[in-house]
Amino acid sequence: MQEIVIKTNKLTKRFGDFIAADQITFDVSKGEIFGFLGANGAGKTTAMRMLCGLSLPSSGEATIAGFDIYKQTEEIKKNIGYMSQKFSLYEDLTILENIRFFGGIYGLSNAQLKYKSEELLTELGLEKEAKKLVGSLPLGWKQKLSFSVAIIHEPKIVFLDEPTGGVDPLTRRQFWDLIYKASDKGITIFVTTHYMDEAEYCNRISIMVDGKIEALDSPANLKKIFQSESMDDVFYQLARGAKRSD
Amino acid sequence: MIQVNNITKVYGKEKTLAVNDVSFSVKEGELFGLIGPDGAGKTSIFRMLTTLLLPDGGSATVNGFDIVKDFKQIRNSVGYMPGKFSLYQDLSIEENLNFFATVFNTTVEENYHLIKDIYIQIEPFKKRRAGKLSGGMKQKLALCCALIHKPTVLFLDEPTTGVDPVSRKEFWEMLKRLKAQNITIVVSTPYMDEATLCDRIALIQEGKILSIDTPAAITASYPDELIALKSEKMSALLKALNEFPKIKSVYAFGEYAHAAFQESGVTEEEIKTYLTTQQIALLEFKKIEATIEDCFIGFLKN
Amino acid sequence: MKQFFAFVRKEFAHVLRDRKTLFILFGMPVVQILIFGFALTNEVKNSKLVIVDQAKDLASQQIISRIEASRYFDIEKAVMDPAQIESAFREGKIKLALIFPANFSKDLMHLNRAQIQVIADASDPNTANMLGNYVSSIIQDQQMALNQGNKIPYTIVPEIRMLYNPQLKGAPNFVPGVMALVLMLVCVMMTAISIVREKEVGTMEILLVSPFKPLLVIISKAVPYLFLSLINVISILLLSVFVLDLPINGSVALLFAESTLFIITNLTLGIFISIRTNSQQVAMLISLMGMMLPTVLFSGFMFPIENMPLPLQIISNIVPAKWFYIIVKSIMIKGVGFAAIWKQTLVLLGMTVLLLGLSWKNFKIRLA
């Protein structure tokens, strides 16, 4: 049995009468690549915020990396990484300065920082660019760098919010190579995307519709269940009936 | 309708080439797609064609009007939907539409037939403020506003970016119906799968056009024979295939890996045997036609 | 023209629907007027006054009891010598000193003319001025009482001496100051921000790609703020007349005409800023730091310009609020007509024309 790193039970978030996330229940194992799909406004962002300890649920339970979502949000934050579609590094700092800064935030020692930043730069092939301003990099590189920085403190889970939006197809695949590598190291990947082909790269995916998780399985099984040729079609079948959108 | 000759746009002190010697033409009634990732120069091209930016080199005409000299005529005759959602969030659907109609010297009634199909979908909410609308509805409203003065050419800059697959599908269906009304449409998108919905496309990366043709002609011109392979674990399959001696290129495409091999080609048996030595079970092996995305990656690598 | 009205209507919708901003815009002048108004009256009410009565006779006692009856003063009747008075002023213990000469009564009876020395701490010129006026009027009351039925009038001359700021120059009246400040803020900042917002949101792109004249975009953006500012002028004036008992001595029509001119000056300034900037933050920063600060410093409202070093005095001339402040003060307090302020009006007019010209020249019909 694999170690469970995300465990939720009937997690719910209400904003007044509006139920943004409705009794979400799922488990994610260590090292798993978990795709979190849904139409705009289905409640993905709300759910993700709860899991990251950024907002408290209205009811239900969840543990993230073994920590309680209500009481131990600080511990949760130490054990997760986060990267959003909006590139989240400082454009006016150099690559190295960004690595040092974010590593420093997560309490890496100087020796660790030195080692880690060298490792990261070699892996991305950015050794020569280390002293360049991040703002001068092409988008694809920024996104790859941003991901590497998000896992610099070796978190148990990394949350990726549409990490590849607008990135060219080649870089998108290189980005997924990085995700696979992280997954092999035992980091759990929790990712949202609008690219249906990327959904296929996940071990398991969930599809949210109107605040509820309507489907949760491996891509292959989902296609079987919905008798579809492609994930695109599975998604369309589920989300077509959605009443809400953002 | 649109003729672009070697236009170039340079930004900033570092002289970054955002648009590098781009030429293409769009015929009347055509649905033309500019396909490329963020930062490819799509928005710069749109802004030059809508007279918002001056080119640093080359020339272009829209509707026969020069984009530099005749900017007033162009502004009178084109519809433009910028990439960022650009309506007044604090005005209602109705107010936004009326406002843009007046600004363009027309009325909603006059060209209602053009927007009718789209507008009836959002009409029940016409008193609602634009800021409170869903992404899909905002998009429909923006399209109505861009259409209300009956433009001869419609420029849509990344209308589907950040939009979920269902809304994207709906949006393209609306474009198809507009095309039927003989409006020339130029649209840009980072989503490769939308390319096949256009009449003709230009693949663009880092300010340069990689290829211009019909989607079918582009995919047909893919130089190698492509084989789709499937196994349990994609990452292991990619790794193993990349180390295969005869491999030319291999990339993940959904559940399949698309692989091109060297001239001599490979047989299913050959691959199967090789993968077995790597402890990978081959589940599927089939010859396929290249997709636009395969082509794009192919162009990027050259 | 139809387009223009559609645009103006849209602008009003923006302004009226943003309730928070609207509340601040209309609340701000009220709060400022009340704060300034009451802070000031409070101070005057409880001002410490020392009376040195060297005469100790009936005439001096009568005046002292009148002053005692007034609610403005807190009297200490300690006998002090000039040196003690001086140090009491320095330590800020007293605001005003009243010194009756030894021969006060005698002079009054025999010469029909006596003097009282009034010394005020004019480091706070406004208060000093008011206190001086109060004392003078009290003394005048007494003089009138004495003169009733007398053929030869007695004259009591208060000899007022202002300590620290003898000319009392720039003695401000805060109502014109607040008016200048509020109008500046509303017009410059709000116009600049509202235009730049269209650039940021991207609607400017659509408007540029339309047959609508770009310059009209900008002019129609200014219209709602002109109205808003006029409402502010009215509310400030109503407050000052009815709540703070500060009358308008000159022509109200003239005051409004001049205010409108000043508002237009500021609107063009806001437009100019918005043309030169691309983000709301920058526009805000420039209007706040670049406009508010000079207005406070150089309008003469807080700090007397005459006491500044020459270079600063010269700089103060380019601050529109300075001229407006002079104009409003002249109309409201001195009650003078247009003849006395045509120069200042001309300066504002010139500034407006210059800013309009600059805006026209800098306006871009394209994005970059």
pLDDT the model gives residue C171: 38
User: In what order do the strands lie in the sheet containing B2-11?
Assistant: B16-26, B2-11, B57-62, B65-66
CATH number of the domain within which C68 lies = 3.40.1710.10
Enumerate the domain spans of chain A.
4-239
User: Å from B268 to nearest chain C CA?
Assistant: 54
Q: Which residues of chain C have pLDDT under 70?
A: 37-46, 71, 77-80, 92, 122-126, 149-173, 304, 368
Find the helix or strand (DSSP H, E) in which B166 lies: helix B165-180
* Alpha carbons A159 and B263: distance in angstroms, whole number: 42
Using a CB-CB distance cutoff of 8 angstroms, which residues of chain C are in contact with residue B98?
6
Q: Confirm or reject contact between C19 and chain B (CB < 8 A).
A: no
CB–CB of A196 and B190 under 8 A?
no
Same domain, C223 and C263: yes
Q: Write out chain C residues lying below 8 Å of B91, CB-based.
A: 10, 13-14
C368 within some domain: no
- Show the domain range for C23: 2-38+171-362
Q: Which chain B residues touch A if contact means CB-CB below 8 Å?
A: 14, 36-40, 134-137, 161-167, 169, 190-192, 205-206, 234-235, 238, 251-255, 293, 296-297, 300-301
Question: Residue C323 falls within a domain, yes or no?
Answer: yes
Which of A40-44, B166-170, B226-230 is most confident? B226-230
**Residue B85 pLDDT > 70:** no
C201 in the same domain as C177: yes
* C244 and C274 share one domain: yes
| Overall number of domains in chain C | 2
Q: Which one is predicted more confidently, C202 or B272?
A: B272
From the candidates B19, B44, B46, B52, which should be mutated to test the interface with C, based on the most C CB atoms within 10 A?
Answer: B52
Based on the fold, state whether residues C89 and C50 are members of the same structural domain.
yes
Q: Does C20 touch chain B (CB under 8 A)?
A: no
Same domain, C315 and C337: yes
Q: What is the pTM of this model?
A: 0.78
Domains delineated in chain B: 2-220 (3.40.50.300), 226-301 (3.30.70.100)
Residues in B touching C209 (Cβ below 8 Å): 50-52, 75, 78, 80
Chains with 3+ CB–CB pairs under 8 A to C are B
Buried b (16+ CB within 10 A) or exposed e, B110-133: ebeebbeebbeebeebeeebbeeb
Alpha-carbon distance B146 to nearest alpha carbon in chain A (angstroms): 22
ipTM of the complex: 0.82
Question: What is the rounded distance in angstroms from the CA atom of residue A4 to the CA atom of residue A62?
Answer: 12
| Of the partner residues C13, C201, C210, the one whose CB lies closest to the CB of residue B103 | C210
For residues B242-252, average pLDDT: 90
Copy the structure tokens of residue C309.
Answer: 């070093």
Mutation choice for B interface testing from A194, A203, A236, A240 by most B CBs within 10 A? A194
Last residue of some domain: C102, C137, C163?
Answer: C163
**A 64-123 → B contacts, CB under 8 A:** 85
Q: What is the pLDDT of residue B198?
A: 94
Report yes or no on C205 lying in a domain.
yes
Residue of A nearest to B297 (CA): A170
With an 8 Å CB cutoff and a minimum of 3 pairs, decide whether chains B and C touch.
yes
User: Do C26 and C143 lie in a common domain?
Assistant: no
Beta carbons of B134 and A41 less than 8 Å apart: yes
Residue-wise pLDDT tens digits, C106-149: 777 777 777 788 887 766 666 777 777 777 778 777 777 777 76
Q: Measure CB to CB from residue B163 to each of A40, A173, A220 and give the nearest one.
A: A40
Question: Who among B136, B162, B235 is closest to A165 (CB)?
Answer: B162
Residue of A nearest to B299 (CA): A170
Q: What's the 3-state SS for chain A?
A: CCCEEEEEEEEEEEECCEEEEEEEEEEEECCCEEEEEECCCCCHHHHHHHHCCCCCCCEEEEEECCEECCCCHHHHHHHEEEEECCCCCCCCCEHHHHHHHHHHHCCCCHHHHHHHHHHHHHHHCCHHHCCCEHHHCCHHHHHHHHHHHHCCCCCCEEEEECCCCCCCHHHHHHHHHHHHHHHHCCCEEEEECCCHHHHHCCCEEEEEECCEEEEEECHHHHHHHCCCCCHHHHHHHHHCCCCCCC
- The dihedral formed by the CA atoms of B185, B191, B195 and B201, expressed in degrees to the nearest 10: 60
List pLDDT tens digits, range B12-50. Answer: 877 788 999 999 999 999 999 999 998 899 999 999 999
Spatial separation of the C-alpha atoms in residues C121 and C165, rounded to whole Å: 8
Are C207 and C347 members of one domain?
yes
Contacting chains of B (3 CB pairs or more, <8 Å) are A, C
Of the candidates B42, B49, B45, B48, the residue with the CA atom closest to the CA atom of residue B161:
B42
Is C149 near chain B, with CB under 8 Å? Answer: no
pLDDT averaged over every residue in chain A? 88
Query: A54-58, A101-105, A220-224, C30-34: which range is least confident on average?
Result: C30-34
Q: Are residues C175 and C300 in the same domain?
A: yes
Q: What is the rounded distance in angstroms from the CA atom of residue C266 to the CA atom of residue C292?
A: 12
Q: Which residues of C touch B102 (CB under 8 A)?
A: 2-3, 6-7
- Quote the pLDDT of residue C221: 85
Least confident of A78-87, A109-118, B51-60, C91-100: C91-100
Judge whether C148 lies within some domain: yes
Chain B nearest CA to A85, separation (Å): 10
Chain B nearest-CA distance from A195, in A, is: 8
In whole numbers, what is the pLDDT of chain B averaged over residues?
A: 90
C152 and C292 assigned to the same domain: no
Per CB-CB distance under 8 Å, the chain C contacts of B50 are 205, 209
Cβ-Cβ pairs closer than 8 A, B with C, add up to 81
Same domain, residue pair C70 and C26: no
> Does residue B104 sit at the C interface (CB-CB below 8 Å)?
yes
**Chains A and C: 3 or more CB pairs within 8 Å of each other:** no
Task: Assess C203–B contact: CB distance below 8 Å, yes or no.
Answer: yes
Between chain A and chain B, how many beta carbons pairs sit less than 8 Å apart? 105
Contact B86 C366 (CB under 8 A): no
C156 and C255 within one domain: no
Domain A4-239 matching CATH 3.40.50.300: the answer reads yes
Which residues between 36 and 55 in chain B have a beta carbon less than 8 angstroms from any beta carbon of chain C?
47, 50-54
Q: Nearest-CA distance from B99 to chain C in Å?
A: 6
